[in-house]
Structure 1
Amino acid sequence: MSDLADLNAFLAVAQARGFREAARSSGVSASTLSEAVRRLETRLGVRLLHRTTRSVAPTEAGARLIERLAPALGEVEAALEVVNGFRDGPTGTLRLNVPVSAARLVLPAILPGFLAAYPGIQLEVVAEDSFVDVLASGCDAGIRYDERLEQDMIAVPIGPRVQCFATAAAPDYLDRHGRPQHPRDLLAHACLRGRFASGAMAGPWEFERAGEIVRIEPGGQLVVRIGGAMDLAVDMALAGVGVLHLFEGWLRPHFASGALEPVLEDWWQPFSGPFLYYSGRRLVPPPLRAFVDFVKTHREGPASHP
């Protein structure tokens, strides 16, 4: 069991990229974690972490160990949690990795009922748009769209089954610069664009009407990080800086208030909604099983926009 504790300590430090960060998230002191990692390296006879004054990073040996260790410890945790089935209700921690859009548009309709139904479950949600490996990141499940789903994973529909990106701008901006009548008109407008954490720009804006598909590469002064900085892009659209292309559900309150005006609404292209996905090759922990069952019985219908 001491070996298992040291392995858990090593994994926590490696994933947090630092002893202090791991101590804050695990509730174990940084010195205790440092001693555990040092003990593990001594036992194995190989350095597992490169240490600097600011951070740590896995060595090649450490990286190879993490690849095998994270899923293995997840199996151990899942095996121990099987006993939850013998209690009055499932208990334990459920960790979800989701895009920021799902945290904003999908989970709020689901989590209040789920948490009320399962008071013994503690839920941790990591919202990011870097599409990390769910199991390697220490999470039990994730939310992704079908083009992002990994192989050998079980996918369960969650949230609205039809969504679309809406194009919008402040009425004042449109009064000053004109209202586009065709998607190509946007090439003459200031557009608020996004960039992924990987450094790649978001793909072209895509529109569809009567079987015609139009893709444009918008231009504009402002580029924001997709995910956490999207609220800034919305604020800039509200301030009349430019045209925004974002989930309709994100912008709907601003349409209702009149602060933003739909642009090219008959060109908005629908796409299929997200999925909850998890590994089919490991024991499903009781908290995750409870969440999957809850999602299946509380599925949303189509979004309001076709």
Structure 2
Amino acid sequence: MNEPDLSDLSALVAITETRSFRAAAKVRGVSASSLSDAIRRLEERLNVRLLNRTTRSVTPTDACTQLLERLKPAMGEIAGALDALNSFRDSPTGTLKLNVPIIVARSILPPIVNRFLLSHPGISLDILASDTFIDILAAGFDAGIRYDESIERDMIAIPIGPRTQRFVLAAAPDYLDTHGTPEHPRDLINHACIRHRFASGVSFAWEFEKNGKTVKVTPKGPLLASSIEVELGAAIAGLGLIYTFEETITPAFQSGELVPVMQSWWLSFTGPRLYYPSRNHMPAPLRAFVDFIKSDHKLSLA
């Protein structure tokens, strides 16, 4: 029997982790048909079926499960051995894949990314901005950025960017002149509100806090959108109040197109965190990024 090709075995691992030829192909940057060919070669060389395939699912056979129990640790050791070569270079090399929220990609990451890439010319960043919660490992990412409430407890997490952020309420001066200025969250029941819909389809209640007291309001209004650009445009046009990240609103405050409303009730919360799995062999690009973030934080406090 000819020895299986290492790349074919790696393809098998990717397919079983994602349970999808298409998803595994996306992770590996190849076509789904090439992965299908890899599995066909493996099954022919090993003379055993490895995957049960239907139009809706891909599941490992018992033989495949037994193979993977011994194969995955070995593949991890190989990846670690190859990655260890980075210690002999002046600068680490490789690609770091990150999954981040849209607000972080828009308002927080750009200066961090620019400084990191300038100081690590051998590393490439592959960033997907999405508000959809995913299993970063199954989707082929090295790390993700999220807020505390959505980070799984078995992950290592470190702060990145601002340590605290705020949601701010704002409206166009013309809107307030016409409809009056709310002074308490309950007043919003009688106002037009511009709402945000997340990728999951959910539109959350607006939460406010003052002197330890929390008030939630279910907003109503003329617009529900998943685009902050559309929402901001509507608020500037005087269609209603908007409640969103301070970083998003600041330019409109500076131009006078929007003005702050109910500032004493604005909600503060912990800033985003970079999270990644605990590994014996952390990929060199991820290790470099983690070290950079920690060092960048120390400099910002100095």
- Same fold (TM > 0.5): yes
Structure 1, unaligned runs of 5 or more: 52-56
TM-superposed CA distance for 1:253, in Å, is 0.8
Which of 284, 287, 294 aligns to 1:286? It is 284
| 1:252-271 alpha-carbon deviations (Å, 9 max, x no partner) | 11110111111111211211
TM-superposed CA distance for 1:106, in Å, is 1.7
| 1:17-70 alpha-carbon deviations (Å, 9 max, x no partner) | 675x9778755456434422443466551545445xxxxx533448x97x9899
Contact 1:207 1:268 survives alignment (8 Å): yes
Which one-letter code corresponds to 1:193 in the other structure? R
Q: Secondary structure at the match of 1:96?
A: strand
Q: Which structure 2 residues correspond to residues 210-225 of structure 1 after superposition, within 5 A?
A: 210-225=211-226
Equivalent in the alignment of 2:253: 255
Which one-letter code corresponds to 2:294 in the other structure? K
Equivalent in the alignment of 1:273: 271
Equivalent in the alignment of 1:137: 139
User: Pairwise CA RMSD of aligned residues?
Assistant: 3.2
Equivalent in the alignment of 2:49: 45
Which of 82, 85, 108 aligns to 2:84? It is 82
Which of 30, 34, 37 aligns to 1:35? It is 37
TM-superposed CA distance for 1:291, in Å, is 0.5
The alignment of Structure 1 onto Structure 2 pairs a total of residues equal to 290
Closer, same or farther in 2 for the Cα pair 1:148/1:31, shift >3 Å? Answer: closer
Contact 1:79 1:285 survives alignment (8 Å): no
Where relative contact order (Cα < 8 A, 6+ residues apart) is larger, the structure is 1
Contact 2:98 2:142 survives alignment (8 Å): yes
Distance 1:139 1:209 in 2: 39
Closer, same or farther in 2 for the Cα pair 1:158/1:71, shift >3 Å? Answer: farther
Equivalent in the alignment of 2:190: 188
Distance 2:74 2:272 in 1: 28
Equivalent in the alignment of 1:59: 58
Equivalent in the alignment of 2:241: 243
Distance 1:217 1:76 in 2: 53
Return the TM-score normalized by structure 1: 0.81
Closer, same or farther in 2 for the Cα pair 1:2/1:205, shift >3 Å? Answer: same
Distance 1:157 1:238 in 2: 33
TM-superposed CA distance for 1:209, in Å, is 2.0
Contact 2:147 2:273 survives alignment (8 Å): yes
Return the TM-score normalized by structure 2: 0.82
Q: Secondary structure at the match of 2:167?
A: strand
* Aligned residues with identical type, % of pairs: 49
Which of 88, 109, 112 aligns to 2:111? It is 109
Contact 1:74 1:138 survives alignment (8 Å): no
Closer, same or farther in 2 for the Cα pair 1:134/1:123, shift >3 Å? Answer: same
Which one-letter code corresponds to 1:45 in the other structure? R
Closer, same or farther in 2 for the Cα pair 1:26/1:138, shift >3 Å? Answer: closer
Closer, same or farther in 2 for the Cα pair 1:2/1:176, shift >3 Å? Answer: farther
